[in-house]
Structure 1
């Protein structure tokens, strides 16, 4: 065992623990989720890159010696291998506004430096967690920066996953560009349309979300680093801010920009709130489309049955042969979770008090969860869509048995006359088409062409 001391007193630590007393106090104070900062994808790598960039910047401006800076850089690079995740143990929802997370990494870096230099762990005489690793920094500018960079990197594949799902719908759009079906409004028979139009609508909304997600994630590259405690840059030497941004951009591989107003950058997480809202919007569109596929595949005998989803697994432990729409159901559940995450993120973002927002770690945790859920939902949904089939015979049966042509006949015969046929069909328990043909509103040989014209009217109007 070894002993460390701070302003609150002493604590015993395991001799081989790379964390220090600040981390121990956080473990005692915040036993919440059981998930550590090392479990947050890309968070520790982003934070270690900031520490590395800060060391290089402080070397450049003379705030750190070459020996100290090089030792910190080497430790940061070691940490990014994941070998020391077992020492990054602060809970993701630590209640110190990120101070515990920042100090956990500072302590691990300092102790790694000590060990690599052949000094005892806990000996900070060469590199100190606060004086050297944290030089020119504050938790209040470092943690929001790490959060944004982690989110930027985690969300890298989101737009691509959405576009691949959109491509699956595009494929179905082409495949069924001539397949007539019954369009429904308020779950009631409405007008003729094409299945290609249905799939095209799904494609369009998902492509729009992909575009918005990509635009919003770029906003995460504007960060408050260099503002230190409240935005003034207190205790950072002249030249540090511009040097740290240059080095960090090189490490990330993208241009990282300082907030135009450092005080705004320190106080607000609105870029995170906007991304979360768009993830929720995307999930809501998934949810809507998934529900449509559940309805269209329902039955398949006792309900709509116009599409068949791929059979993934047995649907019942008691009903032989039953197959359920398991992928759309899973996609809906992910959407519920993303909506809940967005509610938590919105509350956290609006609860910033005065000069900083203390709830960034929750924002990071929930946003990463939403990003991951959306990406994975898109992937399983894509596989489902590519494998679904359309029952064209059932589509035709449902269409011909409905009153879908009624609206198309109104311009020629008038609303009242067509409504009278509708009432007669209902009273006589016959189809609308049957009665319309009997009353010579159209001939049997005209039915398909009239249906086709009614379904294609949006295309012909656009042309």
Structure 2
């Protein structure tokens, strides 16, 4: 760190004495880590969910320690009040560390301990750094280690971050459902392998996307249940050393009350301290959401291609000019940006996979990059869903007459004749229509295979799209 401050306070760690800016709430451990880890140009402050989660973990610990007689009421109440303010975001700017760091999250844990301790000291009427009255380790971190406090906070933060993503997915699903209703009677050609298939409605297409989003929404909710199993109280490796009897249960109870989450203590704390399988599963679900979302965007780009030389089934709202050289060109920029979000989320999942695999023995040291990756995946997906719903789906229009003409001219209509004419006869008609440019109906009538009334009923697009049901 190169910034010069006019006044400092002296703090001490195992490395020795160090001068810390007098006005900051973080301390020497945070300062050392800030000097060591300058990786992403991002800060813990960029993830308010993690800061709030850390504060809630420390708050729950203070309440459990008070309950068990390990912490006096004066200090416990000061820590409790400090945590409440930190959780509310009042001191986010004091979380200065890079989110990717060595040490299995120890630096992040110490950043939280020091900030909370110094806020509590001021509440008690003392100066920052007067740790003889209230200490970051002895009091704020009492009955904890990084190895249970940090993973628990990561899980809480993940649950917090999932809320805006779930809400954004619901908004996008709702936008698709509204279009499904709006276009429920607009007939178009369905396609398989990019070739004409059979008629359907534009509403059915949007309805399918809505169902896809709902399925992914439900799978995400299910995966979050695995993240609510915590190891708080297991301290260093899951054996519970330095956490008194009853602490794990009390801390979990208070944390559940503070967060509103259905938390439970893992039945096997050694396994829970070393395993990050719940994040592998969750990240896989986020990848699923990304892949499905990207597929929808691929469809949107294809369906809106043209407008004259493409499919042009739908018209996306024009949100900006598309070219610096081609006048009048409008690009599908909103689906394109969501595609890119999806690609990035797939990359985040690969990072989580390797970080989980890289864990050794009784602790996975790579939870910082897991937290960073999952947090960014959720944030970007939430922003992508909201952007797609508001700037694209909501403004989509169609040319109903053009779509109907396309259906009437398609050889895909011949599929409806199979039950009556048989596959061979229907194939011959389809091939002749394709090579001559004549319509299916025209050829059937010319050969006397069906009457006009019979043909009209069989080829009625609304019937083929199953609108009557």
Deviations 1:254-275 (A, max 9, x none): 3321112112211122222222
Structure 2 counterpart SS, 1:304: coil
Contact 1:106 1:134 in 2 (8 A): yes
Structure 1 counterpart SS, 2:416: helix
Q: Determine if the alignment matches structure 1 residue 47 to structure 2 residue 62.
A: no
Contact 1:182 1:192 in 2 (8 A): yes
Structure 1 counterpart SS, 2:12: strand
Structure 1 counterpart SS, 2:305: coil
Root-mean-square deviation (Å): 2.1
Q: Determine if the alignment matches structure 1 residue 155 to structure 2 residue 162.
A: yes
In structure 2, the partner of 1:211 is 218
Q: Determine if the alignment matches structure 1 residue 394 to structure 2 residue 402.
A: yes
- How far the C-alpha of 1:398 sits from its partner, in A, is 1.9
- For 1:452 and 1:352, locate their aligned partners in 2 and report how far apart those are by CA, in whole Å: 61
Question: What is the aligned counterpart of 1:430 among 422, 433, 438?
Answer: 438
Contact 1:161 1:375 in 2 (8 A): yes
Structure 1 residues without counterparts, runs of 5 or longer: none
Structure 1 residues 252 and 182: alpha-carbon distance in aligned structure 2, compared to 1, 3 A threshold:
same
Question: What is the aligned counterpart of 1:275 among 282, 286, 298?
Answer: 282
Structure 1 residues 355 and 459: alpha-carbon distance in aligned structure 2, compared to 1, 3 A threshold:
farther
How do 1:96-245 residues align onto structure 2 when only pairs under 5 Å count?
A: 96-245=103-252
- For 1:189 and 1:456, locate their aligned partners in 2 and report how far apart those are by CA, in whole Å: 14
In structure 2, the partner of 1:376 is 383
- For 1:353 and 1:179, locate their aligned partners in 2 and report how far apart those are by CA, in whole Å: 58
Structure 1 counterpart SS, 2:368: helix
- How far the C-alpha of 1:81 sits from its partner, in A, is 3.5
Q: Determine if the alignment matches structure 1 residue 451 to structure 2 residue 459.
A: yes
Q: Determine if the alignment matches structure 1 residue 288 to structure 2 residue 295.
A: yes
- How far the C-alpha of 1:198 sits from its partner, in A, is 1.5
In structure 1, the partner of 2:12 is 5
TM-score if structure 2 supplies the norm length? 0.92
- How far the C-alpha of 1:359 sits from its partner, in A, is 1.3
Structure 2 residues without counterparts, runs of 5 or longer: 1-7
More deviation in 377-386 or 45-54?
A: 377-386
Structure 2 counterpart SS, 1:404: helix
- How far the C-alpha of 1:176 sits from its partner, in A, is 2.5
In structure 1, the partner of 2:3 is none
- How far the C-alpha of 1:106 sits from its partner, in A, is 1.0
Structure 2 counterpart SS, 1:308: coil
In structure 2, the partner of 1:413 is 421
Contact 1:138 1:229 in 2 (8 A): yes
- How far the C-alpha of 1:240 sits from its partner, in A, is 1.3
- For 1:337 and 1:141, locate their aligned partners in 2 and report how far apart those are by CA, in whole Å: 30
More deviation in 269-278 or 138-147?
A: 269-278
- How far the C-alpha of 1:143 sits from its partner, in A, is 0.7
Question: What is the aligned counterpart of 2:356 among 349, 354, 358?
Answer: 349
TM-score if structure 1 supplies the norm length? 0.93
- How far the C-alpha of 1:213 sits from its partner, in A, is 1.4
In structure 2, the partner of 1:253 is 260
